[in-house]
Amino acid sequence: MRREGPARGFEAAEFKVRTEKAQKLMAAQGLEGLLLWSEPDVRYFSGFHTLFWQSPTRPWFLFVPASGKPVAVIPEIGAALMRQTWIEDIRTWSAPAPQDDGISVLTELLAPLAQRGARLGVLKGHETSLRMPLGDWERLVQALPGLQLADATSLVQGLRMVKSVAEIEKLAHICAIGSATFDQVPSQVSQGMPLEEVFRAFRREALAQGADDVPYLVGGAGPGGYIDVISPPSRRPLKQGDVLMLDTGATWDGYFCDFDRNFAIGAADDAARRAYDVLWRATEAGIAAAQPGNNCRDLFQAMQRVIAELDDQGGDIGRLGHGLGMQLTEQPSHADFDTTPLQEGMVLTLEPSLGYGDNLIMVHEENIVIRAQGAELLTRRAVPELPVI
Amino acid sequence: MRREGPARGFEAAEFKVRTEKAQKLMAAQGLEGLLLWSEPDVRYFSGFHTLFWQSPTRPWFLFVPASGKPVAVIPEIGAALMRQTWIEDIRTWSAPAPQDDGISVLTELLAPLAQRGARLGVLKGHETSLRMPLGDWERLVQALPGLQLADATSLVQGLRMVKSVAEIEKLAHICAIGSATFDQVPSQVSQGMPLEEVFRAFRREALAQGADDVPYLVGGAGPGGYIDVISPPSRRPLKQGDVLMLDTGATWDGYFCDFDRNFAIGAADDAARRAYDVLWRATEAGIAAAQPGNNCRDLFQAMQRVIAELDDQGGDIGRLGHGLGMQLTEQPSHADFDTTPLQEGMVLTLEPSLGYGDNLIMVHEENIVIRAQGAELLTRRAVPELPVI
């Protein structure tokens, strides 16, 4: 049952290429360094991969200089693991240390930049957050007068959007595991089963199929459809006439799939079948539009035109898909506001949604990679008609 | 095999009590509101519970006023779920919206406070982060001249540290599930099994035992011991003489256990047995010291005195345990710097660690709740001698 995956981790050459690409862009933008603090950004340039980020206690930093390898500024507990990456300059402190949680180590590292009034890139734009205490950030800025801060969000997000061959292999692997897991749902789910047991069975099956973890699993079930797409499971048993939706972000070697499937329990009514049909065809339109030369807005509009047959709001989940990689959702967004050009190597979700009936919502999702000729599916395409279990 | 858990969720009265306690402290500190943006803080006062926070795309906010119920300022996609909580005033926007991701809705809500120069509490201290773009935060502050910002970290952390009866029930339930899962390790793990398969089997067993999820699982294995305690698994097969450690944060209804167990594969050498014995006795000393009247430093020192028999650095993981609840690690810290008094209802980990041999590290961990008479174990106590599989 278990499929063999590609190799874990990446060659050092991969990190070198990523770093040099960033440094080229930094030079063009007059940045003499880049300070990163989020799990995926630190991992992208270092290969440092641990679930320990789930503890909010300790901040972690990676500094990308104008040339040469990045410098890690991290709690001592991470030093052994960081030494296994391509990073050589690893500066640590004994954390947690509420009075000085890495701030003086960072200050020493950045002081030369501050002294010459250099520009430091940090990520403060859309889809970012400050993964350190705001008070510590304020203290750091105060300790470095002269340092100019610049927003490097689009620099880093722009690099991360286009996946390497090795990244696409990992993403294809976890999407295949997700597809195989969904294939087992009809044999594992039946009327009377509480939704929380449906979720548990799905998680166990994904692991059996080879996933490392299933950090994201949401869904819903209700008569004729569901009213919400981000809920944890209730104990309500599945009933005849329910529509069940499961949406999963499973991971392999730190890369996510993110897609969903719908199932009718016992029987499907016309409204649910119609909604499913519209979303299936909206996805087809998305697949056709997902090629170099188009942008995210084109993709959005191609799907929206089909969705409008039933609903001109699209269920208001705000967009109809997004980038996919080390995070469940990444840049870009398939939305009217996003004119990011589609490029070869982008891995994306197509995620049309619509409202129907009495406050019901339906979603549909596939994962693709953009090739020179157009979209290549990483997920096994959903069947064209709402399947009945 | 599956154990019946307590009820999911909380009564509305629980959120009312939490909110009124916060408001009493806010009044004492001259705060006219509290703005929250992290998953556990928003959930603590609202009951809003979803894995959707894993998507970094959208910010979520909860405002706690001086009196009355909190106000949610959230993306439209979360409205249906938020309406199932006790919150009534739910203000939404169609997110993502990079140009204005909730900032104008927040500005309108907070403008009256700003106009009268009121003080707003935000969390900017130790163990917090800013879960919104830094650039948006800067824009919000600029849009509200006159608003005074105050650090409310200890106010909120102080409340969350002491668990309610219903919270302790959930924590006891997931700790029992974790204990039952570890009991199965000897029958599921054997020489030759790759570490990634050990992890996968553990995750599947925890789900079978009733966990909702196993978001955190780290560990290591190596001849005579392991060198790191935060790694993901390798494909290296377990060998005779290895010491294997698994450290898990499994969840039930949004509450974590966090503990580990050590196993020798085939045989244990004297150094590993000695390290295990010291840590086991350090934990006993921690259990004895974990009572009202003592503080976190006392607890730290009680464990450290035993650890010093072998190692006076304690492996430098920075502390010897911490709070436990909606997060894998919470306040307080069992460290020399933390003089938080131990109180009835606190749920804590005791986590002594030490370095030994050639760069090896060993950890040991139990979860307890502080009662009037002292510590009550929530985990089934580890056996006093390193078990051999």
How many C-beta atoms surround the C-beta of residue A117 within 10 A?
Answer: 11
For the beta sheet containing B119-122, the strands, ordered from the edge strand earlier in sequence to the opposite edge, are B89-93, B71-75, B61-65, B33-36, B119-122, B148-151
> Per the CB < 8 Å rule, is B8 touching A199?
no
CA distances from B8 to A216, A233, B370 (A): 19, 10, 23
> Per the CB < 8 Å rule, is B125 touching A137?
no
Q: What are B52's two structure tokens?
A: 């959707």
> Per the CB < 8 Å rule, is B130 touching A127?
no
Peptide linkage before A96 cis (omega within 30 of 0): yes
Chain A partners of B54 at a C-beta cutoff of 8 Å? Answer: 215-216, 249, 327-328
Domain boundary among A142, A160, A178: A160
> Per the CB < 8 Å rule, is B51 touching A215?
yes
Residue A334: which CATH number? 3.90.230.10
B384 in any annotated domain: no
Domain boundary among A126, A160, A194: A160
In eight-state DSSP terms, residue A10 is -
Give the domain extent around A251: 162-377
List beta partners, residue A368.
A348, A377
Whether B60 contacts B78, CB under 8 Å: yes
Same domain, A167 and A304: yes
> Is the model's pLDDT at B1 over the cut of 60?
no
Q: What are A179's two structure tokens?
A: 């597809």
Whether A194 contacts A236, CB under 8 Å: yes
How far away is chain B from the Cα of A344, in angstroms, using its nearest Cα? Answer: 23
Same domain, A193 and A315: yes
Whether A89 contacts A71, CB under 8 Å: yes
Whether B211 contacts B258, CB under 8 Å: no
Whether A265 contacts A389, CB under 8 Å: yes
A73 in any annotated domain: yes
> Per the CB < 8 Å rule, is A127 touching B317?
no
> Per the CB < 8 Å rule, is A134 touching B137?
yes
Same domain, B237 and B341: yes
Chain B partners of A59 at a C-beta cutoff of 8 Å? Answer: 129
Query: Tell me, what's the pLDDT at B3?
Result: 66
Sign of the Cα pseudo-torsion (A253, A258, A264, A265, in order) = positive
CA distance B210 to B368: 20
Q: Which residue of A has its CA nearest to B333?
A: A96
Same domain, B156 and B196: no
> Per the CB < 8 Å rule, is B134 touching A126?
no
Q: Which residue of B has its CA nearest to A334?
A: B96
| Residue B155 backbone dihedrals phi, psi, to 5 degrees | -60, -55
Query: Tell me, what's the pLDDT at A315?
Result: 53
CA distances from B5 to A140, A315, A334, B172, B253 (A): 46, 35, 41, 10, 10
Whether B185 contacts B210, CB under 8 Å: no
Q: Which residue of A has its CA nearest to B5?
A: A235
Best of A76, A84, A101, A130 to disrupt the B interface by mutation (most B CBs within 10 Å)?
A: A130
Q: How many domains does chain A contain in total?
A: 2
What is the ipTM score, two decimals? 0.96
CA distance A284 to A267: 25
pTM: 0.97
Query: Tell me, what's the pLDDT at B318?
Result: 75
How far away is chain A from the Cα of B352, in angstroms, using its nearest Cα? Answer: 14
pLDDT band with cut points at 50, 70 and 90 for residue B5: confident
Encode pLDDT of B221-265 as tens digits: 999 999 998 988 989 999 999 999 999 999 999 999 999 999 999
Runs of H (alpha helix) within chain A: 12-28, 39-46, 79-82, 103-115, 134-143, 153-161, 165-188, 195-208, 270-289, 296-307
> Is the model's pLDDT at B331 over the cut of 60?
yes
Question: Pick from B133, B204, B337: which is nearest to A124 by CB?
Answer: B133
Per-residue pLDDT of chain A (389 residues; tens, 9 = 90+): 566 789 999 999 999 999 999 999 999 999 999 999 999 999 999 999 999 999 999 999 999 999 999 999 999 999 999 999 999 999 999 999 999 999 999 999 999 999 999 999 999 999 999 999 999 999 999 999 999 999 999 999 999 999 999 999 999 999 999 999 999 999 999 999 999 999 999 999 999 999 999 999 999 999 999 999 898 898 999 999 999 999 999 999 999 999 999 999 999 999 999 999 999 999 999 999 999 999 999 999 999 999 999 987 655 567 999 999 999 999 999 999 999 999 999 999 999 999 999 999 999 999 999 999 999 999 999 999 999 99
> Per the CB < 8 Å rule, is B101 touching A125?
no
For the residues of A280-319, what is the DSSP string, one character each?
HHHHHHHHHH-SBTBBHHHHHHHHHHHHTTT-SSGGG-S-
Same domain, B201 and B310: yes
Sign of the Cα pseudo-torsion (B266, B271, B273, B275, in order) = negative
B387 in any annotated domain: no
Q: Collect all residues with Cβ–Cβ distance below 8 Å to B175 and sequence separation of at least 6.
A: B257, B259, B367, B378, B379
Domain boundary among A112, A133, A160: A160
Same domain, A138 and A191: no
Rounded mean pLDDT, B317-337: 94
Question: Pick from B57, B99, B128: which is nearest to A329 by CB?
Answer: B57
Q: Which residue of B has its CA nearest to A332?
A: B57
B100 in any annotated domain: yes
> Per the CB < 8 Å rule, is A317 touching B124?
no
Same domain, B110 and B245: no
Same domain, B146 and B172: no
Query: Tell me, what's the pLDDT at B311?
Result: 83
How far away is chain B from the Cα of A226, in angstroms, using its nearest Cα? Answer: 11
Chain B partners of A78 at a C-beta cutoff of 8 Å? Answer: 230
Same domain, A188 and A154: no
Q: What are B370's two structure tokens?
A: 């502080």
Taking the CA atoms of chain A, what radius of gyration do you get in angstroms?
Answer: 23
> Is the model's pLDDT at B135 over the cut of 90?
yes
B4 in any annotated domain: no
Q: Collect all residues with Cβ–Cβ distance below 8 Å to A163 and sequence separation of at least 6.
A: A171, A325, A345, A346, A347, A369
Same domain, A217 and A152: no
CA distances from A195 to A43, B1, B77 (A): 35, 18, 21
How far away is chain A from the Cα of B316, in angstroms, using its nearest Cα? Answer: 7
How far away is chain A from the Cα of B217, in angstroms, using its nearest Cα? Answer: 7
A4 in any annotated domain: no
Rounded mean pLDDT, B261-279: 97
Same domain, A367 and A299: yes
For the residues of B229-242, what is the DSSP string, one character each?
SSPPP-SPBP-TTE
A1 in any annotated domain: no
B1 in any annotated domain: no
Same domain, B179 and B315: yes
Chain B partners of A227 at a C-beta cutoff of 8 Å? Answer: 80
> Per the CB < 8 Å rule, is B125 touching A133?
yes
How far away is chain A from the Cα of B123, in angstroms, using its nearest Cα? Answer: 8
> Is the model's pLDDT at B90 over the cut of 80?
yes
Best of B8, B42, B213 to disrupt the A interface by mutation (most A CBs within 10 Å)?
A: B213
Residue A144: which CATH number? 3.40.350.10
